[in-house]
Amino acid sequence: MRDQVEKFQNVEKSLSESKGPFELFALFLREDSPNKWDLLISADWARADKKASINIIVEEIRKVLSDQELLMLSRLIILDKDDATLKAIQKAMHVEHGLAELSDNNFLGLAIKHAYLITSRREIHRKTNSADAKSHAAD
């Protein structure tokens, strides 16, 4: 599986450079789905047009995976920015263009046998903007 994960790392890096950053790019093996992995992603550009984004991502994956390796994928899921599962994953682990492994975990009732997180990061909001807004509101 390590070879395939490296290929997904390359896909993530390529897409983040050409399309924009990911908040999440991860492979999950659910307890109830033996040897079939889900690719979970979250990115502003992917949410803008989910159907087109799925086509772009699949096209990139097909460039690097063999037909046999493609069979290991069960589904590709684009998570909304406010998705509770996304927030739970981001809270559990922070990694960007790297690799973190999780085993026997549970995210909001979703039993995960194994996971590879290539990118899991939260957007950082600047506090100065909200302070500025408050001071302008007082004007």
DSSP E strand boundaries for 15-58: 24-30, 37-42
Q: What is the pLDDT of residue 123?
A: 63
Give the residue among 86, 14, 78 at the shortest CA–CA distance from 51. Answer: 78
Q: What is the pLDDT of residue 90?
A: 86
Q: What is the pLDDT of residue 79?
A: 94
Q: What is the pLDDT of residue 116?
A: 92
Q: What is the pLDDT of residue 108?
A: 61
Measured distance CA(20)–CA(74) in Å, rounded: 25
Q: What is the pLDDT of residue 119?
A: 92
* pLDDT less than 50: residues of the chain: 125-139
Q: What is the pLDDT of residue 74?
A: 92
Q: What is the pLDDT of residue 89?
A: 84
- How many CB atoms within 10 Å of residue 3? 8
Mean pLDDT of the chain: 84
